[in-house]
Amino acid sequence: MLSTTAQETSLELKKKQTRKSIKTIVERNLKQKKRGKMFSIVTATWNPISGCLYNCNYCWAKNFALTRLNTTKRYSKGFIPSLNESEFKVKFSKGELIFVSDMGDMFSEFISDEWIKQVLDHIRKFPETYFLFMTKNPKRYIDLLPYIPDNAILGATIETTSDEIIQIDQVSTAPFPSQRYEAMKSLNWDNKIISIEPVIDFDLNTFIKWIEDIKPFIVYVGYDNYRHKLREPTLEKTMNLMNKLADTAIVIKKTLRLSTSEDKLNSVNEGK
C-alpha cells in the first residue's frame, strides 16, 4: 500500500502527464485545423445537455435551435435546458478533444448537479480523451470541482470588462463579466481557457490584469460573426489587447475585422 506522500507524488505525476498530453493535443490540433467559427483545438462536439436560459442577444446556438433545428425532437420545445440521455451511448477515442455542450451552458444555474455529475461520470470513462467545457457561470466549476476529472479543460467566456455595457445594452442575463473573472481567478485548475468572443468594448489595462490573474493557457479573441450591433472595440484596440495577452497565453484569432462603428464610418467615407 502506498504511503500518503507516495500517493500524493503519484497523483501529482499523473496530473503533470495529463497537462502535458493536453498541451500536445492542443498544439497538434492548432496545426491541423483551419481557423473557423468553432474553437480550433476541438475535434468534435457532444451535447449530453443542451439549451440555455441566459438569453445572450448574440447567441448563435439558440438561433440555430429555433430555426434550422426547430423540427427536431430535442428543440421542439425551444432552447430550454434538457438532458439528452441518448448521448450517453457515445464513446470517444484516445486523443480526441471534445467540446461538451456547445449548444447550451451546462454549468449554468438552470442545470441540476445531478445532470452535470452524470456527464462527468461519463467522461471519466474516457481518461485518454480530453473534454472542453465553456460557461458564463464559472463559479459552478468551483462548487463541483471535486467531481471534475483531470482530462477536463475548463473555460469561460468573458467578452468585456464592462458589467455596465452588458447591463445597459441588455446583452445577457448570465453572471456579469466581473463575477466570471473572480470565479476563474479563484479556480484552482491547470488547464483553463478564456474566450473573448464576441468581443465587446473593454478597458485595456483591466483586461490584461484579468487574464494575467486567471492564467489561462489559451485565449480566443474574435468579433461577433453575425453582426448583432454589439458595442465593439476598434480593431486597433483589439489587436493591442491580443498583442499584450500574447505575453501570458497562446492567443488565437477568430473573426477579426473593423468594428461595426468603424465599418459604418468606412462605408460613409467610401460613399456606399
Residue 70 burial (C-beta neighbours within 10 Å; 0-12, 13-18, 19+)? middle
Among 59-67, 115-123, 146-154, 186-194, the segment contacting ligand SF4 (CB under 6 A): 59-67
Q: Minimal distance in Å, beta carbon 265 to ligand SF4?
A: 28
105 interacts with ligand SF4 by CB under 6 A? yes
Among 51-59, 175-183, 209-217, 248-256, the segment contacting ligand SF4 (CB under 6 A): 51-59
Q: Minimal distance in Å, beta carbon 51 to ligand SF4?
A: 8
CA distances from 148 to 93, 127, 210, 233, 240 (A): 19, 12, 24, 35, 35
**Cα torsion angle, 158, 164, 167, 173, sign:** positive
219 interacts with ligand SF4 by CB under 6 A? no
Of 271, 249, 243, nearest to 194 (Cα)? 249
Which residue number, 54 or 210, has a Cβ lying nearer to ligand SF4? 54
Judged by CB under 6 A, the residue of 61, 98, 184, 221 near ligand SF4 is 61
Among 36-44, 47-55, 70-78, 239-247, the segment contacting ligand SF4 (CB under 6 A): 47-55
224 interacts with ligand SF4 by CB under 6 A? no
Residue 118 burial (C-beta neighbours within 10 Å; 0-12, 13-18, 19+)? middle
Kindly identify the residues of this chain, within the stretch 161-180, that bind ligand SF4 according to CB under 6 A. 172, 174
Which residue number, 22 or 98, has a Cβ lying nearer to ligand SF4? 98
Residue 229 burial (C-beta neighbours within 10 Å; 0-12, 13-18, 19+)? exposed
CA distances from 79 to 39, 88, 133, 157, 172 (A): 22, 20, 19, 19, 15
Among 52-60, 117-125, 181-189, 226-234, the segment contacting ligand SF4 (CB under 6 A): 52-60
136 interacts with ligand SF4 by CB under 6 A? yes
Judged by CB under 6 A, the residue of 55, 76, 186, 267 near ligand SF4 is 55
Which residue number, 137 or 161, has a Cβ lying nearer to ligand SF4? 137
Sheet holding 130-135, edge to edge: 44-46, 97-100, 130-135, 152-157, 192-196, 218-221, 250-253
Q: Residue numbers of the site for ligand SF4 (CB under 6 A)? A: 52, 54-56, 59, 61-62, 104-105, 136, 172, 174
